[in-house]
C-alpha cells in the first residue's frame, strides 16, 4: 500500500477502527495524525498506536495528503468550513465516512471542487470484518481510488458504487444490517431463555449457530442460500414447521420492506 500522510478529523469509534487496522497492517504510525477537541480520546489513540494527536484540525489537515472526515454528520459543516483556509486543497484527497451528506455538499462546505470519496463503513469494521461502500467524485484519480480501497481493506472488504445513490443501497444492505441480525439473535435468545437456558448459555448457543451457518455457507462457494436452506429442511420435519411460521409472517417481504425503509430514510436525510 502507498504511504501518504493522513489526518483523521474526529477520534470516534470509526476513526479508531480504521487507524487500528492501518497500524496492524504495517502502515507507518508516524504518517497518521488524529484530531479531536477531546484530549482523553485522542491521547489514548496516540498511546495505543504511536500516532500523532492534536486538537488543531487546520494544521493537521494542512500537513496531510489525505484528510479523513470522521465526525458526526451534524458536526460536519462546522468542522469543514474552517478548512477552507487550506492553501493546497487541490493536492489533497478528502475521504468522508459520514452518512447522509451528498458528495457535492462538501464542495460547498470547502468552497472548492474537491477530490472526494464517500465511504460507508459498518460496525464490524471495529473487528476487521467490515464492509465499506465507496463512491468517488468524478475528479478522483485511479491512484486515489486504489489508495482509498486499500485503506478500507485494512478493516474488511470494499465495494465501489458507480452512482452516488447506490451508497444508500449499501446503507440498507451492509451499513444497517448488523442491527437486523442482532434483532434476530435477540429474538432467538429470548425464546431460548423461555425454554430454560440461562442468559449466557442462550447467547452462546445463538452465536455458535449463526457463526456455524456463516462458515458453512462460505465453505460452499457460490451455492445459493435457498439451496443451503433446502439442505437442512426435510419435508414435514421440524425445520419445515419453523420456516412455515416465517413464511406466514411474510419474512421475505418484511426484510425487503425494512431495507427499502432504510434507503428511503437515507434519501430523506440528504
Ligand atoms: P463518534 O461520536 O464516536 O466520534 C466523533 C468524533 O468526532 C469524536 O471523537 C469527537 O471528539 C470528534 N469531534 C467532534 N467535534 C470535532 C471537531 N470540531 N473537530 C474534530 N473532531 C471533532 O462517531 P463515530 O461512530 O466514529 O462516527 C463518525 C462518523 O462515521 C459519523 O459521521 C458516522 O455517520 C460515520 N459512520 C459511523 C458508523 C458506525 O457504525 N459507527 C458507520 C458508518 C458511518
Put simply, whether the predicted model's pTM sits higher than 0.95 gets the answer: no
31 burial via Cβ count (<10 Å: 0-12, 13-18, 19+)? middle
CA dist 170 and 134 (Å) reads 9
CA dist 41 and 28 (Å) reads 20
**pLDDT, tens digit, for every residue of 165-208?**
999 999 999 999 999 999 999 999 999 999 999 999 999 999 99
CA dist 25 and 150 (Å) reads 10
Sign of CA dihedral 76, 77, 81, 82: negative
Mean of the per-residue pLDDT values for the chain?
96
Residues 6 or more apart whose CB falls under 8 angstroms from that of 47 comprise none
Supply the residue whose CA is at minimum distance from atom 1 of ligand 1: 12
What distance in angstroms lies between residue 183's CA and the mean position of ligand 1's atoms?
24
Supply the residue whose CA is at minimum distance from atom 4 of ligand 1: 12
Task: Assess: ipTM above 0.90.
Answer: yes
The residue behind cell 498511546 is 47
**pLDDT, tens digit, for every residue of 11-52?**
999 999 999 999 999 999 999 999 999 999 999 999 999 999
Regarding beta strands 66-69 and 156-160, do their DSSP bridges make them parallel or antiparallel, or are they unpaired?
unpaired
| 3-state SS, residue 239 | helix
Mutation to probe ligand 1, out of 7, 16, 36 (largest number of atoms < 8 A from CB): 36
Other C-beta atoms within 10 Å of 248: how many? 8
Mean per-residue pLDDT, 222-248: 97
Cβ-contact 200, 145 below 8 angstroms = no
CA distances from residue 115 to 95, 139, 173, 202 in whole angstroms, order as listed: 9, 6, 26, 49
Mean per-residue pLDDT, 124-148: 96
Determine the pLDDT at residue 270. 85
What distance in angstroms lies between residue 27's CA and the mean position of ligand 1's atoms?
22
Amino acid at each position: 500500500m502507498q504511504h501518504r500522510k493522513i489526518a483523521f478529523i474526529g477520534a470516534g469509534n470509526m476513526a479508531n477502527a480504521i487507524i487500528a487496522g492501518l497500524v496492524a497492517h504495517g502502515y507507518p504510525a508516524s504518517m497518521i495524525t488524529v484530531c479531536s477537541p477531546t484530549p482523553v480520546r485522542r491521547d489514548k489513540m496516540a498511546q495505543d498506536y504511536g500516532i500523532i494527536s492534536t486538537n488543531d484540525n487546520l494544521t493537521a489537515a494542512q500537513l496531510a495528503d489525505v484528510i479523513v472526515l470522521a465526525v458526526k454528520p451534524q458536526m460536519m459543516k462546522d468542522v469543514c468550513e474552517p478548512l477552507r483556509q487550506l492553501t493546497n486543497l487541490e493536492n489533497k484527497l478528502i475521504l468522508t465516512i459520514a452518512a447522509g451528506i451528498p458528495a457535492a455538499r462538501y464542495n460547498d462546505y470547502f468552497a472548492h471542487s474537491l477530490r472526494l470519496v464517500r465511504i460507508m463503513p459498518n460496525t464490524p469494521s471495529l473487528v476487521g470484518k467490515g464492509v465499506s461502500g465507496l463512491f468517488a467524485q468524478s475528479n478522483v484519480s485511479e491512484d486515489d481510488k486504489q489508495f482509498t480501497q486499500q485503506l478500507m481493506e485494512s478493516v474488511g472488504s470494499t465495494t465501489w458504487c458507480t452512482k452516488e445513490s447506490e451508497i444508500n443501497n449499501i446503507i440498507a444492505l451492509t451499513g444497517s444490517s448488523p442491527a437486523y441480525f442482532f434483532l434476530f439473535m435477540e429474538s432467538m435468545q429470548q425464546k431460548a431463555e423461555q425454554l430454560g437456558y440461562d442468559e449466557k448459555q442462550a447467547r452462546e448457543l445463538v452465536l455458535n449457530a449463526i457463526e456455524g451457518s456463516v462458515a458453512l455457507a462460505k465453505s460452499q462457494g457460490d451455492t445459493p442460500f435457498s439451496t443451503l436452506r433446502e439442505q437442512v429442511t426435510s419435508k414435514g420435519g421440524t425445520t419445515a414447521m419453523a420456516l412455515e411460521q416465517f413464511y406466514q409472517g411474510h419474512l421475505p417481504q418484511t426484510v425487503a420492506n425494512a431495507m427499502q425503509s432504510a434507503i428511503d430514510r437515507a434519501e430523506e436525510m440528504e
